[in-house]
Chains A and B, each alone.
Chain A
Amino acid sequence: MLGYIIRRLLAVVPVMIIVALFVFLILRLTPGDPAAILAGDSATPAQLERIRDRLGLNLPLYEQFFQWVRMMFQGDLGVSLISNTPVSTMIGQRIWPTLNIAMLTIFLSVLIAVPMGVLAAWRHRSWVDYAVMSFSVLGFSVPVFVIGYLFIQIFAIELRWLPVQGYTAPTQDLLGFFQRALLPSFTLATIYVALIARMTRASMLDVLGEDYVRTARAKGLREGSILFRHALRNAAVPIMTIIGTGFALLIAGVVVTESVFNIPGVGRLTVDAILARDYPVIQAMILLTAGLYVLVNLLIDISYTIIDPRIRY
């Protein structure tokens, strides 16, 4: 197992290389020109050309690539083409809000969704089941911003319990963090709750008919421990996967929610960078997410072996 973990961690390197190459190619294939956004509307072609030279955008592709890779190996993520700030500083500022909110969201989602799904499976085709399904349908098909606006309207504007927008770091003011992170987290959580609850239900239904559930009943266990200790654990692998990939998605940043609640996270950073073709920022962001994904996925994979001892790699 230890060997496996080490092998997986080492695999970060090829993953990064694939991602780097891929991203680099995609970016250079996409039309758009950071020089143009730098210079604004009334720049002349000659001026643009000079800026492009200056930014190194006129070098041959492979040279740009190797230069970038070389810098990466020296731990230098480069400088934003647009704002001229070091990319590491920019990401450093932006990653924490996203991470913190992602963790809160996943925590809330799991807390709410798993019992919901278990209940729905337990009371298959009862009103609980249908209620969970209706909630999930809404969670899937109502755009996030609508949920966000509704929360804001109710909790921030009508009731004035929580602020409308913004972000406070938990290290700075824990209460402030929760006040500002609660609405966005719940907003994000709706879709995850929907997804996780459905998955839990689906997975539990498979398990509840198994003989060992009957054995557990024969032992006189309470329904709760039958469901959560015996059945849920057997159903947990796909649920864990959904939670894991959900978390991975969240740490990549979720643009719409970040916009609605004005959270300075990496989601907006990435989209802004893509729209401005700020290559170093995009490249660094994607590499970072790739790295995080490798890590999260490794954790998911390890969790499988803990949940289900029959799973071996």
Chain B
Amino acid sequence: KSDDTTITAVMHSSLRVLDPIITTAHITRNHGYMIYDVLLASDEDFNPQPQMADWEISDDSLTYTLTLREGLMFHDGEVVTAEDAVASLERWGERDSGGQLIFDVTESLEATDEHTITWTLSEPYPPLIDTLAKQSAVPAFIMPARIADTSADSSISEHIGSGPFRFLEDEYEPGVSVTYERFDDYVPREEEPSWMAGGKVVNVDRVVWTTMPDAQTAINALTTGEIDYIEQVQVDLLPILESSPDVVVENRDPLGYQTMGRLNFQHPPFDNKQIRQAALLALSQEDVLATMMGDSEYYEICGAIFGCGTPLADESGSESLTSGGDPQAAQQLLEEAGYDGTPVVLMQPTDVTSLSAQPVVAAQALRQAGFEVDMQPMDWQTLVNRRASMSAPDEGGWNIFFTNWMVPEITSPLINVMLNGRGEDGWFGWPEDEELEALRREFIAAESDEERQEAARKLQVHTLDEVIYIPLGQYIMPQARRDNITDMIPSPVPVFWNIDKQ
């Protein structure tokens, strides 16, 4: 087996949760794409394409018929049936917020024969196909029915899919490495691969994902050829790679990430719209991004809440953010609003490199605008716990935190969890905003692209006006590979089909 080709890849984080439905962690989603397949997938133009199945929509837009293609097989040798797909979709529907919306209007979801899935709705839901084909955060992966029957609140304990790679359970070391082997019985589609759609032709025998907690070591290992690929290289470390002729640094993901800040609507001072606006005015994307990334080649100032380079992108209302902030205006507004000097509790996650700069820059900017800032360092876990707390900031609650999203996770109001105005039922920060809800419904109901664009634009304006969240711009993490690794598909999710090792 020594002449097997193995690609050793250092991924952005270690794979510790194996259930791609229960979590939204990117690494687990990527793992999902290795071993599972999806019914429909989105191509590089954000268009849904058939993957495991073709679809048909009835004229009344209430019945969707999905037909599985021939030759689909699970890694345990069983044939993929419509039953499996239905069970998988149901479990997915319990976890995915987009899926939940569909199931809210579902009348029935059935396997009408071995290959056919019939989905009947009680009222039309135009985004259904887009939702099924989306590549983030929780794609509708198909697994055998017996596994998909696991409760949506517990992790699955068997990892069998019908995707192009098999998961080697024996070689899995949580937190260290995962090994995948080519699934020889996988039948790729005929089409050219494009993002998650198209033919997934596997040219290597094995793919090993390892974790290297030390970025420097990963780079050193790449220069000496001990590994083949690094998914994300910190931009500051790129100069080290310049002297290595056989290493290629490139951008795989054209969209990258959006970094953003969220205010807590439940507690003073950000229960006051003017103070929220003052905070927004105080911030400058340029400052944040430059501090985070250094090299402007890897970031983009972008005022669009749905992310630049996406179909719904629109930058209305973001002028202060994109043009360096307006501390004077912020100060003035703050005074008008009668800010009483209540300290703003800003949570700073210290153990996540990609999130450590934002709070520091923001704290400085807010202070300049006249805010009292209490920046509290904590590990990400503590932050995650604390941001769920609705208590007052001085009793274990908070006022601001920052996080990053992959752009595909926020491109549409359907999947963007922050655009939720249902108060305590919504996402952390809990804005109660009827208008936001109305605008979202308007978007869902939109029938044409123009209507959709218009609804999205209104959402953009409203979001920035109410400061539902503060987009702080987009950035890209370049990848690095040995030059004998070829034909990797550009895509937000790193995929290991099509790729070859010379």
Contacts and interface: CB of A to CB of B under 8 A. Distances in A.
A276 B381 contact: yes
B449 to A, nearest CB: 26
Contacts of B153: 47, 50-51, 53-54
A84 B226 contact: no
A83 B388 contact: no
B384 A33 contact: yes
Nearest to B378: A31
A36 B385 contact: yes
A156 B226 CA distance: 11
Contacts of B95: 47
Interface string B220-246: 110110100000000000000000000
Main secondary structure of the interface of B (DSSP, over half): loop
Interface stretch (A121-129, A211-219, A221-229, A255-263): A255-263
Nearest to A30: B382
Contacts of B157: 84
A268 interface: yes
A85 interface: yes
B427 A157 contact: no
Contacts of A94: 173, 176
Contacts of B386: 31
Contacts of A166: 221, 226
B224 A54 contact: no
A38 B212 CA distance: 21
A39 B22 contact: yes
Interface in A45-104: 45-48, 50-51, 53-54, 80, 82-85, 90, 93-94
Contacts of A156: 220, 224
A275 B224 contact: no
A80 B385 contact: no
Given A93-B173, A262-B217, A269-B175, A83 B18 contact: yes
A149 interface: yes
A83 B351 contact: no
A39 B220 contact: no
Nearest to B388: A45
A275 B383 CA distance: 11
A206 interface: no
Interface string A1-41: 00000000000000000000000000000111100111111
A138 interface: no
B174 A157 contact: no
Contacts of B427: 42, 44
Contact of A51 (B22, B25, B379): B22
Given A47-B95, A163-B226, A164-B221, A275 B24 contact: no
A268 B381 contact: no
A32 B382 CA distance: 5
Contacts of B174: 80, 82-83, 85, 90
A41 B428 CA distance: 10
B146 to A, nearest CB: 17
Interface in B1-59: 14, 16-19, 22-25, 28
B73 interface: no
Contact of A42 (B177, B221, B417): B417
A160 B224 contact: yes
Contact of A38 (B22, B173, B218): B22
Interface in A266-304: 268-269, 272, 275-277
A272 B385 contact: no
Contacts, number: 144
Contact of B220 (A47, A48, A90, A157): A157
Nearest to A80: B174
Interface string B151-185: 10111010000000000000011111100000000
Contact of B217 (A31, A51, A54, A164): A164
A47 B429 CA distance: 17
B24 A39 contact: yes
B385 A262 contact: no
A48 B425 CA distance: 12
Contacts of A117: none
A139 interface: no
B381 A275 contact: yes
Nearest to B380: A275
B137 interface: yes
B239 to A, nearest CB: 15
B318 interface: no
A119 interface: no
A279 to B, nearest CB: 12
A262 B16 contact: no
Interface string B302-344: 0000000000000000000000000000000000000000000
A161 to B, nearest CB: 11
B351 to A, nearest CB: 6
A237 interface: no
Contact of B137 (A40, A48, A164): A40
B213 interface: yes
A244 interface: no
B108 interface: no
Contacts of A45: 388, 424-425
A301 to B, nearest CB: 35
Given A38-B23, A51-B153, A259 B217 contact: yes
Contacts of A164: 217, 220-221, 224, 226
A85 B16 CA distance: 9
Nearest to A97: B176
Contact of A165 (B24, B217, B385, B403): B217
A268 B176 CA distance: 9
Interface of B: 14, 16-19, 22-25, 28, 95, 97, 137, 151, 153-155, 157, 172-177, 210, 212-214, 216-218, 220-221, 223-224, 226, 351, 379-382, 384-386, 388, 403, 405, 409, 417, 424-425, 427
29 contacts: A31-B382, A31-B385, A32-B379, A33-B385, A37-B381, A39-B23, A40-B28, A42-B409, A45-B388, A51-B22, A82-B17, A82-B174, A83-B18, A83-B175, A93-B176, A156-B220, A160-B224, A164-B220, A165-B217, A165-B221, A259-B214, A262-B210, A262-B214, A264-B176, A268-B175, A272-B175, A275-B381, A276-B16, A276-B381
Given A40-B23, A40-B137, A53-B153, 5 more contacts: A36-B381, A39-B22, A84-B18, A152-B220, A166-B226
Question: Considering the complex of A and B, which 5 residue pairs feature the smallest CB-CB distances, nearest first?
Answer: A40-B24, A32-B381, A83-B174, A264-B176, A259-B213
